[in-house]
């Protein structure tokens, strides 16, 4: 949520970005200036690690929100076991590392002049640019979505924040016996297991508070896209008769008047309509000319995270054209950021980046307030196919859900917030 530009912002901007922008280049004691767009899992981690690994590099991070709000754990706010406060983290940790945090919107990138334009004015010159804007939604793929959004009756809550609160309120207001419709887009989308975790959390809330109600998952994919058998067992054991899954059920429209989600073959009525539209890389990636695949995603060289479309610009996180079997996750964005930070530090210092990076992903999902399951994978550079590929036999899924994993899941969240922002 944006807030008004105030005196503190002005001082911060004049003290940090604008004064340096006026100088037009890095100050003499600095080796280079790196500008980062986006203070989510990718951008915040890259900003912090560049400062940690070479404090002589100046890092300016542009983020439209004045506080970080985590999507991981946000489904638990719907379940009722966590609050919005649990998701929010300040950017002060980054400031302590010397990152200059500019609370503004990046509106354009001039890759030739190496300049980022800001909404409130003031251009930021860079030597290298890192773009980690997350996703934006392709609302036009679902007829009626724009109009439905105006009424606030249909939300996605797929960027944690105001819509998470709105969805929680709709859930709390739903009559007992009502139907919560959760529409899942075709993969690839942000956080493959996220929708199924959400189904569990909504069902957990309903079981306690409105036990005659149902969760209906309308999935554009043929089957559950992640941890399928574990989710299905949790649904059957913990919420018998409450969660119905329909595959190949792609939403093509929504209508608030009839309170329906339109599929190719039928209209499905629900009391709460939680429709997640298909996504693409965030708008600024489009404006910067970084999109290389399907009008949606940004191709990168996985050894440096440098864009394959525009030299000198690195792209991280959900905005990237994922490597084979690589999920769009906070865990991955945090790891992309470390490949990128190491490569940027090497390049600025005239060294060769690591030619064979290896990264790992773990995604936990809470199936109740305290039990969780996980999926893990390891990704390594493959010189023949010039991409990151999963290491056979490394990783896998939980053998069963457990409260022990519930503890690990919370520890994962606390650690990744600390690693990215602390």
Ligand X SMILES: Cc1cc2nc3c(=O)[nH]c(=O)nc-3n(C[C@H](O)[C@H](O)[C@H](O)COP(=O)(O)OP(=O)(O)OC[C@H]3O[C@@H](n4cnc5c(N)ncnc54)[C@H](O)[C@@H]3O)c2cc1C
- Tell the smallest beta-carbon distance from residue 61 to ligand X (Å): 9
Shorter beta-carbon distance to ligand X: residue 134 or 144: 134
Site stretch for ligand X (CB under 6 A), options 32-40, 300-308, 375-383, 400-408: 32-40
- Tell the smallest beta-carbon distance from residue 337 to ligand X (Å): 8
Q: What angle do CA 405, 361, 371 make, to 5 degrees?
A: 15
Q: List the one residue out of 20, 32, 25 whose CA is nearest residue 350.
A: 32
- Tell the smallest beta-carbon distance from residue 265 to ligand X (Å): 28
Of 9, 30, 65, 187, which one interacts with ligand X (CB under 6 A)? 65
Shorter beta-carbon distance to ligand X: residue 114 or 190: 190
Residue 283's Cβ-count burial label (10 Å; 0-12, 13-18, 19+) is middle
Site string for ligand X, 77-106 (x = CB under 6 A): ----------------------------xx
* 277, 138 Cβ separation under 8 angstroms: yes
Binding positions for ligand X, 140-169, rule CB under 6 A: 158
Shorter beta-carbon distance to ligand X: residue 190 or 338: 190
Site string for ligand X, 162-201 (x = CB under 6 A): ----------------------------xx--x-------
Of 54, 219, 255, 318, which one interacts with ligand X (CB under 6 A)? 318
**Separation CA 9–CA 282 (nearest Å):** 24
CB proximity list for 399: less than 8 A, separation 6 or greater: none
Of 41, 49, 137, 180, which one interacts with ligand X (CB under 6 A)? 41
Asked if residue 134 binds ligand X (CB under 6 A), the reply is yes
Considering CB under 6 A, how many residues would be counted as binding ligand X?
36
Asked if residue 315 binds ligand X (CB under 6 A), the reply is no
Of 18, 36, 38, 100, which one interacts with ligand X (CB under 6 A)? 38
Count of C-beta atoms within a 10 Å radius of residue 247: 15
Count of C-beta atoms within a 10 Å radius of residue 50: 28
**Separation CA 337–CA 404 (nearest Å):** 29
Q: What angle do CA 83, 215, 142 make, to 5 degrees?
A: 90
* 361, 332 Cβ separation under 8 angstroms: yes
Considering only CA atoms, give the Rg of the chain. Answer: 22
Determine phi and psi for 191, rounding to 5 degrees: 60, 80
Residue 298: half-sphere exposure toward Cβ, Cα within 13 Å: 34
Determine phi and psi for 10, rounding to 5 degrees: -60, -45
Shorter beta-carbon distance to ligand X: residue 206 or 262: 206
In this structure, what token pair is assigned to residue 40? 């989510």
Site string for ligand X, 239-278 (x = CB under 6 A): ----------------------------------------
Q: How far is CA 387 from CA 218, 358, 396, in A?
A: 33, 11, 21
Shorter beta-carbon distance to ligand X: residue 197 or 255: 197
- Tell the smallest beta-carbon distance from residue 134 to ligand X (Å): 3
Site stretch for ligand X (CB under 6 A), options 12-20, 61-69, 166-174, 219-227: 61-69
* 139, 251 Cβ separation under 8 angstroms: no
Shorter beta-carbon distance to ligand X: residue 39 or 406: 39
- Tell the smallest beta-carbon distance from residue 422 to ligand X (Å): 16
Shorter beta-carbon distance to ligand X: residue 105 or 370: 105
- Tell the smallest beta-carbon distance from residue 396 to ligand X (Å): 17
Q: List the one residue out of 202, 209, 211, 203 whose CA is nearest residue 238.
A: 203
Site string for ligand X, 205-224 (x = CB under 6 A): --------------------
**Separation CA 157–CA 3 (nearest Å):** 20
* 124, 21 Cβ separation under 8 angstroms: yes
Residues lying near ligand X in the complex (CB under 6 A) are found at 37-43, 62-65, 71-72, 74-75, 105-106, 132-134, 158, 190-191, 194, 282, 284, 317-319, 328-331, 333, 363-364
């Amino acid at each position: 949520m944006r807030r008004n530009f105030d005196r503190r912002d002005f001082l911060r901007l004049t003290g940090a970005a604008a004064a340096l922008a006026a100088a037009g280049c890095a100050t003499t004691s600095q080796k280079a200036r790196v500008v980062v767009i986006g203070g989510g899992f990718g951008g915040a981690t890259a900003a912090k690690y560049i400062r940690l690994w070479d404090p002589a590099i100046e890092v300016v991070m542009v983020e439209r929100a004045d506080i970080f709000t985590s999507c991981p754990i946000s489904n638990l706010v719907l379940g009722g076991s966590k609050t919005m406060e649990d998701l929010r983290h300040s950017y002060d940790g980054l400031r302590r590392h010397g990152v200059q945090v500019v609370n503004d919107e990046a509106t354009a990138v001039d890759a030739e002049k190496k300049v980022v334009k800001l909404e409130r004015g003031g251009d930021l010159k860079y030597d290298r640019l890192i773009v980690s804007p997350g996703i934006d939604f392709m609302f036009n793929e679902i007829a009626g979505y724009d109009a439905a959004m105006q009424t606030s009756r249909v939300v996605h809550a797929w960027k944690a924040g105001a819509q998470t609160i709105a969805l929680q309120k709709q859930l709390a207001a739903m009559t007992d016996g009502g139907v919560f419709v959760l529409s899942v887009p075709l993969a690839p989308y942000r956080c493959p297991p996220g929708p199924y975790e959400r189904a569990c959390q909504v069902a957990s809330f309903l079981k306690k508070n409105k036990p005659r109600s149902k969760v209906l998952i309308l999935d554009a994919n043929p089957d559950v896209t992640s941890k399928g058998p574990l989710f299905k067992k949790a649904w059957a054991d913990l919420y018998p008769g409450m969660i119905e899954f329909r595959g190949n059920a792609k939403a093509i429209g929504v209508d608030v008047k009839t309170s329906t989600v339109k599929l190719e073959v039928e209209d499905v009525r629900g009391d709460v309509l939680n429709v997640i539209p298909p996504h693409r890389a965030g708008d600024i990636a489009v404006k910067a000319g970084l999109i290389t695949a399907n009008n949606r995603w940004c191709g990168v060289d996985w050894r440096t995270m440098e864009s394959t479309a525009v030299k000198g610009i690195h792209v991280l996180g959900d905005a990237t054209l994922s490597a084979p079997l690589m999920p769009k996750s906070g865990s991955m964005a945090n790891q992309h950021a470390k490949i990128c930070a190491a490569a940027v530090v090497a390049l600025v210092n005239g060294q060769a980046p690591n030619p064979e990076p290896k990264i790992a992903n773990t995604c936990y999902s809470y199936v109740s307030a305290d039990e969780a399951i996980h999926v893990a994978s390891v990704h390594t550079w493959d010189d023949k196919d010039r991409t990151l590929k999963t290491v056979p036999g490394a990783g896998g899924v939980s053998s069963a859900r457990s409260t022990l994993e519930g503890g690990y899941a919370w520890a994962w969240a606390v650690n990744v917030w600390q690693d990215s922002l602390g």
